[in-house]
């Protein structure tokens, strides 16, 4: 142990190092005689040493004792420290053992806690799963109890249906559980039982309301206001409640996402029964009243014999009934499923009255008026019709469509009969074929066009442009009503058609009757029924083989197979020929044939080939051709005047014949000059005139033909107009 352990060792001062007897010895030495030799010094030294030891012995002895005591004390402290260290080591080992045991105990506690948590979660899961199984008994007792149908209107009944849906969904989602299929089937039966109770309550409510209304109607005569209150106000009283309970069936009548072909929703039959019962109940009350009202309209003097008047009155009445039933349906049901089937049954009396009248109607005008009435008043405009119809509005066009189809069918049949009997099988009389004398006997007002044959640009300020067609229409004994007349087609004078061929008059009359009906469908008809012109395009084949030839591999099978779909096969091209274009093409063909035939007759004396030997004959042929032209031009104008009343058209055709004659003469003149090129004679003109016995050049012949044909000159009213305005008409 160190000296710092509670034991203080005696410390000697600096003075303590000196021997205790030195001071006295020094005093005595002062009395000692001086040492004179070594012997004396040795004696003196021995004596001094003895005296010094005797003087310091006690102090040294006490210091030694103290040191021994200190050593003993330090040894005891070392022993105590060793024992303390041993004790602390044992305590440390004990603490480590306790810590090890505590850790083991903690782990065991944590294991117990986790086991408890797993057991608690398992118990909760079991309890959660069992609630879907435990609900079977109370639901079965409630639905099979006496008077279970009376609880349908309570709110907790909807909650019970929701719980049944949840149980069914759980059984559907956990098919691996042992009793899932069994409980699923039993829950399905309970849900069917609950929805059947709803159906029964719905039907009984309808029956009660219907029986009360029927009894009131049978007891006494009722006016329209009371009848409306009975037929609609009584049914609106409990409609909201029935709509809510009926919604429970409708929500479960949803078809599956991927239904099989022909499959329907599971509870669709129950929903159909609701619609059927409601329709049957309303039909028993409404349809007899509709039949009675339609019979009254049919027997009324103003509508008994007039198809259009009867249709207007009866359709307006039935439409009002359908609107009321549409509103009442919306108060009983969500959606329109089954609605239009019911409304069609309400419209059956209307069909029963209209169909026989339409079949027996022989007047085409009445059928056209009926079609116009249905199309304009009750059908939606295709241009204004939205992509998705408004579910809150009645689509009456779907209900009136059968009547429109019957009318159109009858109209087509009558039109075909008129075409067959009065046009195709028409047998003309001699006076019908007496042309052109027939035209000369008929005086058509306004047939002569007093305007000159000038370009369209100058004519535009003389005659106002009107979008109405100038083609008149026959006005026969079947006159339209003032509201049905079309100013574009109807004329008051019948004399304008006296010169027409009878079949043409009948065809124009027939077209005028059906014009308004097919006006909307004319474009679709052209596209659908016009036969396309099919051709094959082989350009791709040529280009493909040329490409193979350039880059090589023409006979490589792989390249041929690869190019089968890339142009090796010819393309099929379909060209839809428009009816107007086709008619215009045929008209051009007829005009060209007419002008070419007259031009060929006028230039028939001109030879097609000229040689040096036949030059005199060619010059003589030119003179003959001029004589023929002078003779044929009046005949041409006479024929055109007999058959064409429009001056502009006649002059345009005369100008076309003149152009063809000039062109043929120009061809002849080229052949003549080629044959004469070897000689020195040059064909020319002198002051715009040529000799009668020589071949004129083209310009001289043209000037001469202008005077012969006189296109447009006799009819000119404005002396300032020039003949060159004919250029635009000749180009036509």
pLDDT tens digits along 118-146: 999 888 888 887 888 888 888 889 888 88
User: What pTM does this model have?
Assistant: 0.60
Rounded Cα gap, residues 704 and 706, in angstroms: 5
Peptide bond preceding 372: is omega within 30 degrees of 0, i.e. cis? no
Spatial neighbors of 712 by CB under 8 A, at least 6 apart, are 452, 453, 454, 651, 655, 723, 725, 726
3-state secondary structure of 304: coil
> What pLDDT is attached to residue 317?
93
Same domain, 209 and 275: yes
> What pLDDT is attached to residue 730?
42
Domain span at 283: 154-360
Rounded Cα gap, residues 189 and 198, in angstroms: 14
Same domain, 180 and 282: yes
Question: What average pLDDT score do residues 663-682 get?
Answer: 78
- pLDDT confidence tier of residue 341, bands split at 50, 70 and 90: very high
Residue 569: inside a domain, yes or no? no
Asked if residue 452 has pLDDT above 70, the reply is: no
Spatial neighbors of 298 by CB under 8 A, at least 6 apart, are 304, 310, 314, 353
Same domain, 249 and 323: yes
Residue 502: inside a domain, yes or no? no
Same domain, 300 and 237: yes
Question: What average pLDDT score do residues 180-184 get?
Answer: 90
- pLDDT confidence tier of residue 253, bands split at 50, 70 and 90: confident
Rounded Cα gap, residues 669 and 610, in angstroms: 10
Q: What is the DSSP string of 474-543?
A: ---SSPPPGGG--TTT--S-SGGGTTS-HHHHHHHHHHHHHHHHHTTTHHHHHHHHSPPEEEEE-HHHHH
Residue 102: inside a domain, yes or no? yes
Question: What average pLDDT score do residues 16-40 get?
Answer: 56
No. of H helices and E strands in the chain?
Answer: 24, 2
Q: What total number of domains does the chain contain?
A: 3
Same domain, 121 and 159: no
Residue 26: inside a domain, yes or no? no
> What pLDDT is attached to residue 384?
54
Q: Which of 26-40, 171-185, 552-566, 640-654 has the lowest mean pLDDT?
A: 552-566
What pLDDT digit, counting tens, does each position of 273-330 carry?
A: 999 999 999 999 999 999 999 999 999 888 888 999 999 999 999 999 999 999 999 9
Q: Which domain-ending residue is among 90, 117, 144?
A: 144
Rounded Cα gap, residues 217 and 226, in angstroms: 10
Same domain, 298 and 256: yes
Same domain, 280 and 172: yes
Same domain, 50 and 166: no
Same domain, 99 and 228: no
Buried b (16+ CB within 10 A) or exposed e, 156-190: ebbebbebbeebbebbeeeeebeebeebbebbeeb
Give the number of other CB atoms < 10 A from CB of residue 513. 24
Spatial neighbors of 300 by CB under 8 A, at least 6 apart, are 313
> What pLDDT is attached to residue 103?
93
């Amino acid at each position: 142990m160190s000296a710092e352990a509670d034991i203080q060792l005696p410390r000697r001062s600096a003075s303590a190092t000196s021997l205790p007897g030195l001071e006295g010895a020094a005093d005595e030495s002062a009395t000692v005689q001086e040492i004179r030799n070594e012997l004396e010094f040795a004696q003196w030294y021995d004596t001094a040493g003895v005296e010094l030891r005797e003087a310091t012995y006690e102090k040294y002895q006490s210091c030694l004792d103290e040191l021994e005591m200190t050593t003993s004390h330090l040894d005891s402290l070392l022993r105590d420290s060793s024992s303390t260290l041993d004790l602390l080591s044992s305590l440390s080992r004990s603490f480590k053992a306790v810590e090890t045991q505590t850790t083991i105990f903690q782990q065991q506690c944590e294991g117990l806690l986790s086991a408890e948590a797993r057991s608690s979660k398992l118990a909760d899961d079991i309890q959660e799963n069992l609630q879907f199984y435990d609900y079977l008994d109370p639901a079965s007792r409630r639905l099979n109890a006496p008077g279970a149908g009376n609880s349908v209107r309570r709110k907790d009944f909807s909650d019970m249906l929701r719980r049944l849906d949840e149980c069914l969904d759980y059984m559907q989602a956990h098919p691996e559980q042992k009793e899932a299929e069994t409980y699923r089937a039993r829950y399905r039966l309970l849900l069917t039982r609950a929805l059947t109770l709803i159906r029964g309550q719905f039907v009984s409510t309808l029956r009660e309301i219907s029986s009360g209304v029927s009894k009131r109607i049978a007891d006494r005569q009722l006016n329209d206001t009371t009848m409306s209150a009975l037929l609609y106000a009584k049914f609106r009283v409990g409609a909201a409640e029935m709509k809510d309970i009926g919604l429970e069936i409708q929500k479960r009548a949803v078809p599956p996402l991927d239904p099989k072909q022909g499959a329907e929703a599971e509870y669709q039959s129950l929903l159909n029964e609701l619609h059927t019962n409601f329709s049957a109940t309303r039909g028993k009350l409404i349809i007899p009243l509709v039949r009675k009202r339609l019979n009254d309209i049919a027997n009324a003097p103003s509508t008994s014999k007039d198809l259009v008047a009867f249709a207007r009155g009866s359709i307006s009445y039935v439409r009002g009934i359908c609107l009321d039933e549409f509103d009442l349906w919306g108060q009983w049901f969500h959606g329109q499923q089954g609605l239009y089937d019911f409304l069609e049954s309400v419209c059956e009396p209307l069909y029963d009255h209209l169909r026989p009248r339409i079949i027996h109607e022989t007047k085409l005008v009445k059928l056209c008026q009926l079609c116009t009435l249905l199309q304009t008043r009750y059908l939606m405009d295709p241009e204004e019709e939205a992509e998705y119809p408004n579910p809150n509005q009645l689509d009456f066009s779907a209900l009136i469509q059968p009547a429109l189809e019957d009318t159109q069918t009858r109209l087509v049949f009558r039109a075909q009969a008129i075409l067959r009997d009065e046009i195709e099988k028409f047998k003309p009389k001699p006076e019908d074929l007496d042309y052109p004398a027939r035209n000369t006997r008929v005086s058509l007002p306004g047939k002569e066009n007093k305007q000159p044959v000038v370009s369209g640009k100058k004519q535009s300020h003389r005659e106002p442009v009107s979008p109405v067609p100038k083609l008149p229409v026959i006005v026969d004994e079947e006159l339209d009503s003032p509201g049905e007349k079309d100013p574009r087609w109807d004329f008051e004078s019948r004399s304008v058609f006296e010169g027409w061929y009878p079949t043409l008059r009948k065809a124009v009359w027939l077209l005028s009757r059906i014009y308004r009906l097919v006006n909307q469908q004319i474009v679709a008809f052209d596209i659908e029924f016009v036969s396309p012109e099919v051709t094959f395009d082989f350009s791709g084949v040529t280009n493909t083989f040329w490409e193979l030839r350039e880059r090589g591999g023409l006979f490589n099978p792989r390249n041929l197979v690869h190019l089968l779909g890339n142009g090796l096969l010819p393309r099929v091209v379909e060209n839809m020929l428009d009816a107007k274009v086709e008619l215009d093409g045929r008209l051009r063909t007829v005009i060209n044939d007419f002008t070419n035939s007259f031009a060929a007759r006028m230039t028939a004396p001109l030879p097609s080939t000229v040689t040096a030997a036949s030059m005199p004959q060619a010059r003589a042929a030119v003179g003959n051709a001029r004589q023929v032209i002078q003779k044929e031009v009046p005949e041409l104008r006479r024929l055109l005047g007999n058959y064409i009343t429009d001056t502009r058209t006649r002059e345009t055709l005369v100008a076309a014949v003149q152009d063809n004659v000039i062109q043929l003469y120009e061809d002849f003149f080229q052949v003549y000059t080629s044959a004469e090129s070897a000689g020195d004679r040059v064909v020319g003109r002198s002051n715009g005139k040529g000799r009668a016995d020589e071949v004129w050049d083209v310009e001289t012949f043209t000037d001469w033909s202008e005077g012969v044909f006189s296109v447009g000159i006799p009819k000119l009213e404005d002396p300032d107009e020039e003949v060159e305005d004919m250029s635009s008409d000749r180009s036509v």
